[in-house]
Amino acid sequence: MNRAVIKFSSEDCGICHKMSFYDQKVVEELGLQFIDVKMQDTSAYRKYRKILLAQYPDKEGMGWPTYLICDEPEGDNFKIIGEVKGGHPKGEFRNRLQAVLASTN
């Protein structure tokens, strides 16, 4: 199974930028694939838009950044298993990801 964390962020979001210093490292330490999708990157956004819109049909309630934890993100049978929204210190971010992963076992 291919499990990934997809980060939806914006180039002009300060919190998104701050999180980028450690978010990918934390995700990979947990054995997950990290996919970075900036809203300004049209091709990446187009590729993963269906996953974002499955969780937020009108983008209402999204955080900056929004991390969607997803199984099989490359296919049409993707499954969103949880999310982490907004900025968090490194340890808190890791704890929130681990809580989502624990809830799926």
Please give the pLDDT value at position 76.
Answer: 85
Cα separation values, 37 from 7, 20, 63, 103, Å: 6, 12, 14, 25
What percentage of the chain carries pLDDT values higher than 90? 89
Q: Give the span between the Cα atoms of 101 and 39, in whole angstroms.
A: 26
Structure tokens of 100?
Answer: 């989502």
Which residues of the chain fall below pLDDT 70?
Answer: 1, 105
DSSP 8-state class, residue 78: -
Which residue type does 63 have?
A: G
CATH superfamily for 3-102 is Glutaredoxin (3.40.30.10)
Predicted confidence at residue 105, as pLDDT, reads 64
pTM over 0.85: yes
CB count in 10 Å sphere of residue 36: 16
Helix (H), strand (E) at residue 17: helix 14-19
